[in-house]
Every structure is written in structure tokens, then in C-alpha cells.
Amino acid sequence: MKSIKQLLIALVTFGFMMAGVSHSASPETPAAAPAGVKLVSAAQVQELQAKGAVVVDTRKASEFGEGTIKGAISIPYDPEKSAKAADFDATQDKFDMGKLADKNAAIVVFCNSGTCFKSYKAAVVLAKNGYKNVNWYRDGVPDWKARKLPME
């Protein structure tokens, strides 16, 4: 009986360890912007926004409701079913570009940092659909908050 308890404890411990490993092993988005997209910093987002750029939060609506970059609109890249990889299959996902009628307007997309693929994928989809001025803020909300920039 004692050995069964020890085995169960070992299995549960191993399970928790593996869950931690898989969670911490989230893939990083590419460090470079995809074709047709410009990688931008927080300062550049502010400059673009001051000039009238549309700033798009690609996180889930619930995350948007918890706080976002001041002036951003919510267009969730959801559901995100494709692989978290540079060569993802966008046909498996949903991103509604209906709020972005002007393909020449400056657009900034962001989400939750370099391990969040939603903004990366949205940037790729926009560029492939003829949007000419797509900007990707890879560092996203955590960086914006760390810099104490305006949130709402």
C-alpha cells in the first residue's frame, strides 16, 4: 500500500512538472517582421497613433476589456486554431477585417508580447490582403504597461 502511495505521488509530481515545462516552452514569434509589415516600438506606436493610425488589439474581447492601449479598437484574432509558427495556415483562423476598410491607412496590431502569435498572424493576413501600411508592435501590452503609457 505504501509503494502505491509513493507511485501516485511520483506520478502527480511528474505531471505537474511536465505541465510547467509545456507552459514555459511557448514558442516565440519571429524576431523580424513578416513581408509587407514593419516592426515598431512603443514610441513608434505613439507617433503613428498621433498621426491617425488605427491601433488594433488582437487579443480576446475579455482581455481587451481588462485593459488595452488607449484608443485601440478590438478585433480579436479568434479562434486561433493554426500552428504558432511563421508558416501558419490562416484558413484555420478567423480575423474580421471589416472594421479596416481603408487599405492605405496606417494600422498597428498588437497582443500580449513575443509569445502571442495573434498580432503576428493578423499582420500577415492584413499584408496578404492588400493592406499597405501594416505595423506590428511585437512587445504588446506588457511592454506598454511597463513603460507606464496610457491604458484604458
pLDDT digits (tens, 9 = 90+) for 31-55: 999 999 999 999 999 999 999 999 9
Q: What is the pLDDT of residue 44?
A: 99
| Band of residue 26 on the pLDDT scale cut at 50, 70, 90 | confident
| Three cell numbers written together for 90 | 490562416
Judge residue 24's burial from the number of C-beta atoms within 10 Å of its C-beta, 0-12 exposed, 13-18 middle, 19 or more buried: exposed
d(CA 121, CA 128): 11
Terminal CA-CA length for the chain: 57
Q: Is this model's pTM higher than 0.85 or not?
A: no
Domains defined along the chain, listed by start: 28-146 (3.40.250.10)
Q: List pLDDT tens digits, range 85-125.
A: 999 999 999 999 999 999 999 999 999 998 999 999 999 99
Single-letter residue type at 102: D
